[in-house]
Chains A and B, each alone.
Chain A
Amino acid sequence: MPRIFDPHIHMTSRTTDDYEAMYAAGVRAVVEPAFWLGQPRTSPESFYDYFDGLLGWEPHRAAQFGIQHFCTIALNPKEANDPRCLPVLDELDRYLAKDRVVAVGEIGYDSMTPEEDEALARQLQLAIEHELPALVHTPHRDKATGTRRTLDVVRESGIAPELVVLDHLNELTVGMVLDSGCWAGFSIYPKTKMSEDRMVEILREHGTERVLVNSAADWGRSDPLKTRKTADAMLAAGFDDDDVDKVLWRNPVAFYGQSGRLELEDPKPDEAATFQGNSIRRGGA
């Protein structure tokens, strides 16, 4: 069975059944990027509680299923447009210093507004100051233009391109990203973004260097097993076990390992374990 590191998945929105199925499919480590929740937050405090959850309750939950959980922290582009949420930028310093934070993210563009420009530039500087990689989301609308503009801002920021992944790429944006020296991320979705078969074609054309494959599973239609399904599709198409291990394990380890904060020893599930006195058992505390 392949060992799998899902470099982008929003486990806060998933169930314990998902954790069980992921473990059974070979997933042993995940990175959960801070993003929006499908409904706007209206105050910075909501973000802080969310960040605390990404650093506390969620790794606790994941560990009970044998999975290592890390996160990335940022003010996401969509909510960077809401002046009520902007004070979050002033507190990111505290969170980016924490042990399980392995990148700044998701940052990037949603609608390419001046507010998003400001938040992206400022958070790339924070990545430089904290010596962290950056996970950069590319917009769903006007993707090619947005990706080009993102690459310009990344270049201007002075961050090393090997510390940056541009995510949610497709056939039209992968080339310019790999040419820039940044990493190329692909989110495999049931219907939109990218399918496992298209992914295999991209790997055939562009190779397996600096490529990350994720499920980006969240609260919407998505599938936390898309990483494993991509591994299976790669094998069916003639890639070998080493290629699969590179794309689905060694590449994400190499990318997030640049943080110096990946600790990948197996967590030991312990039914009696609690986080702040609370457990995932039912009927208990």
Chain B
Amino acid sequence: MAVTTASPPDPRTALDPTAHAWLDESTTKVAAKPAALRRLFPAARRRCGHGRLTEHWTVDEAARAVLLIALPLRGQPLADEVTLLHRHGDPAEQRAILRTLPLLDLGDLALPLVRETLRGNDTTLIEAALGPYAAAHLADAEYRQAVLKCVFCEIPLDRVSGLDSRADRELARMLADFAHERIVAGRAVPPDIRPLVLAFPDVIGGRAELQHALKEEG
């Protein structure tokens, strides 16, 4: 599983001594008493900052990931704590939770959070939800719908985990039909769906204009 790509970079490299000490102290508190996270998790952005740490992680997200990983819980008790943090979290907190899901021992218990996110319209949250956790746990039909939603929301598909192993013929068919609709409407076809469709060329059928559009820059 591509967990390594989801692992947060160590936020401590970006923290000043005060913030560094706060994060270390907070991690210790959470390890001793999980409920301490309810106060500490929302405060992390204010305490540690919210600048960009790497291309895909901000400092606050990485700091919150460190706090979540410090929870001495697994399975249902962990899912309960994480679910309530998500319920009462603002979008930045929810983003950090969704990004950290693959690093927590949750089984499929956090799938409701992924599904709730996929019903919404916040592209930053949808992108955060479609990491290795969703790739490992979403059912086939849900995974396909999630990919299609990304295409509609203009989320680049290279941000979606698991396409190498999970993109199947049915997804290719859905994307081909989507591309066909776009062509008929005189609208552009996003280039990043091409390889997914062309992996199953039979889904194009006899639609010459579709074949042309998908292959022209491929």
Binding site for B on A (CB under 8 A): 48, 52, 55-56, 91, 93-99, 130, 261, 274-278, 285
Bound CA span A48–B120, Å: 18
Q: Is B88 touching A94 in the complex (CB atoms < 8 A)?
A: yes
**Could you list 20 A-B pairs, sorted by A, with CB under 8 Å?**
A48-B87, A94-B38, A94-B39, A94-B88, A95-B42, A95-B88, A97-B40, A97-B42, A98-B42, A98-B43, A99-B45, A275-B91, A276-B91, A276-B120, A276-B125, A277-B120, A277-B121, A277-B123, A278-B121, A285-B121
Bound CA span A98–B87, Å: 14
Interface contacts beyond A93-B39, A97-B43: sample of 10 additional A-B pairs, CB < 8 Å, sorted by A: A52-B90, A56-B91, A95-B42, A99-B45, A99-B46, A274-B122, A276-B121, A277-B121, A277-B123, A285-B121
**A274 surroundings in chain B (CB, below 8 A):** 121-122
Bound CA span A251–B42, Å: 28
Most buried by A among B41, B88, B120: B88
**A48 surroundings in chain B (CB, below 8 A):** 87-88
**A277 surroundings in chain B (CB, below 8 A):** 120-123
Give the number of A-B contacts (CB < 8 Å): 46
Bound CA span A206–B90, Å: 42
Measured between C-beta atoms, what is the minimum distance from B117 to chain A in Å?
Answer: 10
**A94 surroundings in chain B (CB, below 8 A):** 38-39, 42, 85, 88
Bound CA span A48–B89, Å: 10
Q: Is B39 touching A276 in the complex (CB atoms < 8 A)?
A: no
Question: How many chain B residues touch A (Cβ–Cβ < 8 Å)?
Answer: 18
Residue of chain A at shortest CB distance from B92 = A99
Residue of chain A at shortest CB distance from B88 = A94
Bound CA span A130–B43, Å: 11
Binding site for A on B (CB under 8 A): 38-43, 45-46, 85, 87-88, 90-91, 120-123, 125
Q: Is A261 touching B46 in the complex (CB atoms < 8 A)?
A: yes
**A130 surroundings in chain B (CB, below 8 A):** 39
Bound CA span A275–B45, Å: 18
Residue of chain A at shortest CB distance from B42 = A97
Q: Is B38 touching A97 in the complex (CB atoms < 8 A)?
A: yes
Residue of chain B at shortest CB distance from A97 = B42
Measured between C-beta atoms, what is the minimum distance from B146 to chain A in Å?
Answer: 15
- Among candidates A55, A93, A278, residue contacting B38 with C-beta atoms closer than 8 Å: A93
Bound CA span A96–B38, Å: 10
**B43 surroundings in chain A (CB, below 8 A):** 97-98
Residue of chain A at shortest CB distance from B45 = A99
Residue of chain B at shortest CB distance from A45 = B87
Measured between C-beta atoms, what is the minimum distance from A53 to chain B in Å?
Answer: 11
Bound CA span A179–B119, Å: 55
Q: Is B90 touching A55 in the complex (CB atoms < 8 A)?
A: yes
**A55 surroundings in chain B (CB, below 8 A):** 90
Residue of chain B at shortest CB distance from A55 = B90
**B87 surroundings in chain A (CB, below 8 A):** 48
Known: A276-B121, A276-B125. A91 touches B42 (CB 8 A): no
Known: A97-B38, A276-B122. A91 touches B88 (CB 8 A): yes
Q: Is B91 touching A97 in the complex (CB atoms < 8 A)?
A: no
Residue of chain B at shortest CB distance from A129 = B39
Measured between C-beta atoms, what is the minimum distance from A251 to chain B in Å?
Answer: 24
